[in-house]
Structure 1
Amino acid sequence: MRPAAFALGVLWAAPWSLCGLLAGLAALPFGARPAFSRGERALIFGCCPWGPGGAMTLGNVILCTGRDLDLRCSTYEHRAGRCAHPQVRLGDHERAHVYQYMLLGPLFVPLYFLCGGISVRNRFERAADRYALHGRGWWPWPAS
C-alpha cells in the first residue's frame, strides 16, 4: 500500500510539480543543475539563479539557490525572535512541504497563502520547521 499511496500523492501534486519542472527547466541556461533525491522525494534544481536564497517547493520539485539542500538555516520562529531554535537542514524543511503537497495536491498553494504566505504566521511553515527539528509533525493542523 505504501508505494501505491506514494504514487497517488505524486499524481495529486503533479499540477504544481509541472510548474516547478518548468521553472527549473527555465533556470537551466542560467546555471541550475537538476538531480533526483530519493530522500527528499523530489527532483531538485540546485544553483537556481533567482530569489533571496534558500529553496522553494512546488509539488515534487524543489528549486534551490544553493548547490544542494544540506544548508543549515534558521527556523521561521527563530528568525522572528519568538524562540531560540537550533538551525535545521533546509532539505528536511522542504521535504515537509513535499509531503504537504502530496496530501493537499492542487489545494496546497491557495491554502498556503490563506494561512499567511511566506511568514512565521503560516502554519505550513511552522509545521515544516517542526518536521525539520524533530523528524515528525509536517501536517499543519494538530490532530484532536
Structure 2
Amino acid sequence: MGMLGVPWLYPTEINSLPMRTKRAAVSTATNWITNFAIVEVTPIGIQSIGWRFWIVWTILNAVFLPIIYFLYPETANRTLEDMDAYYRSNPPLIVTGDADVISTKRPLNFVYHEAEEVQRNAKEAISGDVGYTEHVN
C-alpha cells in the first residue's frame, strides 16, 4: 500500500514549478492507461499460460529496479525549491554518482542556499524593495 502514491506524488516533487501540473497530468494519465492495460491483459495471460504469467510481471518489475536506482533522484527531506535548484544546475542523467542526489539527508548546499535566500528576502523587506505594491483604501 505504501507504493501506491509514487506515480501521483513523485512527478510533482521532481518537476519545476512551471511544469509541475503538466507533468503530474501526464503521469496520472500514464498510470491510468497502464492500469487499464494490466487489467485487460492479465486475465488473458492467466488463461493462456496459467500461473507462469506472474513471472512476466516479476520480470517487468525487476527491470524497473535499475532504472529507478540509476535515474531517479532522491526527494526525501528536500523542498520543492531544492529540486528546482537541482534541475537548474543541468544535472547528468545518471544520478548514482552524486552523493547529494542519492542521500536521504538534505544536502548542505541546499540548506546554505535556502539560508542565503532568506537573508536576501529579509534585506529586501527591510529596504522596502519587496517587489509588490500595497493597496491602501
Structure-1-length-normalised TM-score: 0.29
Larger Rg: 2
Between Structure 1 and Structure 2, the one with more strand by share is 1
Question: With structure 2 as the length reference, what TM-score do the two structures score?
Answer: 0.30
Q: When you count helix as a share of all residues, which structure comes out higher?
A: 2
